[in-house]
Amino acid sequence: MHPIIPPVRPWTYPNEGDNWQSIAARAFPERSVEEAVADLQSWNLYLVFRPAPAMLTCSDIVFTGPPPA
Amino acid sequence: MHQLKIRNALICDGTGAPAYCGEVAIDDGRITAVGTRLDGGAVTVIDAKGLALAPGFIDSHTHFDAQITWDGLATPSLEHGITTVINGNCSLTMAPVRAEHRAFVGAVFRQIEEMPAAAFDAGMRWNWETFADYLTAFRSHIGINVATLAGHSMLRLWVMGDAARERCASVAEITAMQELLRECLDAGALGLSTSWVDIDHEHRPVPCRLASPEELSALCAVLGEYGAVMQVVPEFWDPDLLCTRIDILGDLSRRHNITVTFSPLFDSNATPDLVSRALARVRLQVANGARVVPQMQTRPIDVTFEFDVPTSVFSSRPTWWATILKPAAETLRDFQDPELRRQLVDEAYNGMQPIAMEVHFPDFIVSRCHLEHNKPLEGRRLRDIAEELGCDPVELMLDLAVEEDLLTRFSAISVGHNNLERIVGPITDPLVQIGSGDGGAHVTRFATYGDTGYFFSRFVRDAGALTLEQAVYKLTGQVADNWGLANDRGRIQPGLAADLVLFDPNTIDRGPEIAVADLPGEGYRFLRRAVGIEQVFVNGIATYSAQQGYTEARAGQLVSATRQKAA
């Protein structure tokens, strides 16, 4: 990303084979996985409610912070 | 002595410069002279009688990939003044496709682009696999210029087989995709298209969505070698997602020195600040050296439907969606089940809105009735009919559908991208390109034609938001600049291809939406006829006129990007 353009929200790409737990562990290593997953899911409802059989893909954006107030 | 001269024309040259009354000379398909008065005669002289003469319009977002193989005019685009179409958007192309993937690709194309299976199957001969052979299959019979993007999903399928739908690519597979993209570009592809949102006929992500960021960047590196363009569909309905995607595109543009364009930039009442936020983000990226081009369509979204085919208008209402996904006989039975009807009516009023649309059932129009005694209802709103009859509008819709064996046709008019007050600023913004029209797609749901006429009638004449010259520039010179076509098309200038459209600026418009049974095989599609377009020339040859319709000329050419391949 461009060094002087801050992102609108912090985010990450999933790695191949990732699930909510593994993303949470990587993005928030200092937090309990359970709490971090709950936060992640609340910030990414578009992924949580994506109907099966669609899955998390490596090109998805996963927000790792809340929407701006 | 010139071959053709058009005199007494109001020349809008595609640069945005003031129009002037003048003459244009054409020889061997090229513009050879332009001026207020040209010396020398011509074999054929056309008196434009003061009508506007513009470069042929360039439609940068179309899906004529299948249709162009059986309809070399890409009807009815050409009669709307469009002389160049850019196919292959959204990661979907008809090549390169191995024989074993034709069924899958056809199903995906029909799902996403809402092309009737019977028409697709009847029209597609599909006797090619490579990109070069695909272009060869139609290049000899086109009356319109055709540029084609290489679809990212097709590159993945070719290299990875069915695994393209399951996983990221290996380093070796990414290298193979790079080689395949070079092959497509050498054969004449205009660039690459990809998507972050599309799903296939089995509701799974299209193959390109399984790509890692490294894969996409590697393909963009190849585009950089050729000076070619990438088109992408982002999450256009969500401001935070869209702005983040714009940042990603900005990064790819700077890193590989390429132009990236996304479509659509779409206004919605659900997220009224989306367009302004996205444009601010584009502005920031452009100010920092990126070439990111948003495409915005001119028309609001209208959707026409019958209940025998599922339509996205109902996708966010689970009871409706589940009911209309069933075979027609079961849908009919469900529509008569009292308990289910109660749920359907409740959900019609209280259910979630579909993405980026605002659908109010009572405002649906009864657009076609099957039974004679119901014909007087055609063209009327459910709300108005129900008020007269003293019933509920949704119940009325269900009753009509049941009585007519699901053959009643309804229209949801202006359900998205319909707030002129919000759209008029962005659509005139110098950073925004006109596009996203989707010509050749969604043919059984709404007419994707006539956006050019609508642009002039709504935004130039009605709103006064642009001058005639500015509007012409946005449909010609600006598109040519963005897509690397400016050395050959997009302006009235000596040396450039003689793609020209003669039109009446006081009347140019789109006609009403009509259903026409002109597809191969059975079925119909929705289209709009042109209003105010007098004559269209493709590479100097008259190909359409208001008086005579389409001619037999097939002077269209394959269009590829200006090659700037690194030495």
Q: State whether residue B253 is helix, strand or coil.
A: helix
Q: Please indicate, yes or no, whether residues B322 and B387 belong to a single structural domain of this protein.
A: yes
CA dihedral B440, B444, B445, B447 (to 10 degrees): 50
Distance from B13 to chain A by nearest Cα, in Å? Answer: 38
Q: B423 lies in a domain?
A: yes
Instruction: Out of B412, B440, B473, pick the residue that ends a domain.
Output: B412
Q: Does A42 touch chain B (CB under 8 A)?
A: no
Q: Please indicate, yes or no, whether residues B92 and B198 belong to a single structural domain of this protein.
A: yes
Q: Does B270 touch chain A (CB under 8 A)?
A: no
- φ, ψ of residue B156 in degrees (nearest 5): -65, -45
Q: Please indicate, yes or no, whether residues B277 and B373 belong to a single structural domain of this protein.
A: no
Task: Name which of B234, B242, B202 is nearest B91 in CA terms.
Answer: B234
pLDDT of the residue at B563? 46
Q: Please indicate, yes or no, whether residues B92 and B172 belong to a single structural domain of this protein.
A: yes
Q: Does B59 touch chain A (CB under 8 A)?
A: no
Q: What is the CATH number of the domain that holds B224?
A: 3.20.20.140
Q: B120 lies in a domain?
A: yes
Q: Please indicate, yes or no, whether residues B319 and B203 belong to a single structural domain of this protein.
A: no
Q: B75 lies in a domain?
A: yes
Task: Name which of B1, B11, B81 is nearest B493 in CA terms.
Answer: B11
CA atoms within 13 A on the CB side of B327: 2
Q: B16 lies in a domain?
A: no
Nearest CA in chain A to B200: A54
C-alpha B119/C-alpha B257 separation (Å) is 40
Q: Please indicate, yes or no, whether residues B245 and B372 belong to a single structural domain of this protein.
A: no
Helix axes B393-403, B382-389, angle to 10 degrees: 100
Cβ contacts of B167 on chain A, cutoff 8 Å: 16
CB of B52 closer than 8 Å to CB of B111: no
Q: Please indicate, yes or no, whether residues B371 and B235 belong to a single structural domain of this protein.
A: no
Q: B44 lies in a domain?
A: no
Nearest CA in chain B to A15: B212
**Contact between chains at B205 and A11 (C-beta distance less than 8 A):** no
C-alpha B223/C-alpha B260 separation (Å) is 10
pLDDT of the residue at B275? 97
What is the domain partition of chain A in residue ranges? 11-63
Helix axes B102-113, B152-160, angle to 10 degrees: 160
Q: B557 lies in a domain?
A: no
Q: B522 lies in a domain?
A: no
Q: DSSP state, B458? A: I
Please give the tally of structural domains in chain B: 2
Report which of residues A53 and B71 the model is more confident about.
B71
CB of B131 closer than 8 Å to CB of B151: no
Give me the helices (H) in B351-445, please: 382-389, 393-403, 420-428
The DSSP secondary structure of B135-156, one letter per residue, reads HHHHHTT-SSEEEEPEEHHHHH
Nearest CA in chain B to A43: B240
The model carries a pTM of 0.94
* pLDDT tens-digit readout, B472-504: 999 999 999 999 999 999 999 999 999 999 999
Q: Which two tokens stand for residue B208?
A: 């390109």
Mean pLDDT by 10 residues, chain B (567 residues): 97 98 98 95 97 98 96 96 98 96 93 83 93 97 98 98 96 98 96 95 93 98 96 96 98 98 94 96 97 96 85 86 91 96 96 87 95 96 97 97 96 91 96 91 86 97 97 98 96 98 98 90 88 98 97 96 47
* pLDDT tens-digit readout, A7-37: 999 999 999 999 999 999 999 999 999 999 9
Q: Which of residues 213-242 of B touch A (CB under 8 A)?
A: 213, 216, 235, 238, 240-241
CB of B434 closer than 8 Å to CB of B455: yes
| Helix/strand/coil (H/E/C) assignment for every residue in B37-65 | CCCCCEEEEEECCCCEEEECEEECCECCC
B268: domain range? 57-301+416-511
Report which of residues B533 and A54 the model is more confident about.
B533
Q: Please indicate, yes or no, whether residues B433 and B401 belong to a single structural domain of this protein.
A: no
Q: Please indicate, yes or no, whether residues B442 and B408 belong to a single structural domain of this protein.
A: no
pLDDT of the residue at B69? 96
**Contact between chains at A46 and B235 (C-beta distance less than 8 A):** yes
Q: Please indicate, yes or no, whether residues B364 and B424 belong to a single structural domain of this protein.
A: no
Q: How many CB atoms lie within 10 A of CB B18?
A: 11
Cβ contacts of B203 on chain A, cutoff 8 Å: 51-54
Q: Which two tokens stand for residue B69?
A: 């193989």
Instruction: Out of B476, B494, B511, pick the residue that ends a domain.
Output: B511
Task: Name which of B539, B466, B465, B461 is nearest B503 in CA terms.
Answer: B461
C-alpha B388/C-alpha B384 separation (Å) is 6
**Contact between chains at B208 and A8 (C-beta distance less than 8 A):** no
Q: B2 lies in a domain?
A: no
Q: Does A51 touch chain B (CB under 8 A)?
A: yes
C-alpha B482/C-alpha B259 separation (Å) is 7
Cβ contacts of B211 on chain A, cutoff 8 Å: 58-59
Task: Name which of B383, B408, B396, B395 is nearest B342 in CA terms.
Answer: B395
pLDDT of the residue at B564? 41
pLDDT of the residue at A52? 66
CB of B362 closer than 8 Å to CB of B348: no
C-alpha A40/C-alpha A47 separation (Å) is 10
Task: Name which of B111, B130, B24, B126 is nearest B66 in CA terms.
Answer: B126
Q: Please indicate, yes or no, whether residues B400 and B425 belong to a single structural domain of this protein.
A: no
Q: Please indicate, yes or no, whether residues B65 and B108 belong to a single structural domain of this protein.
A: yes
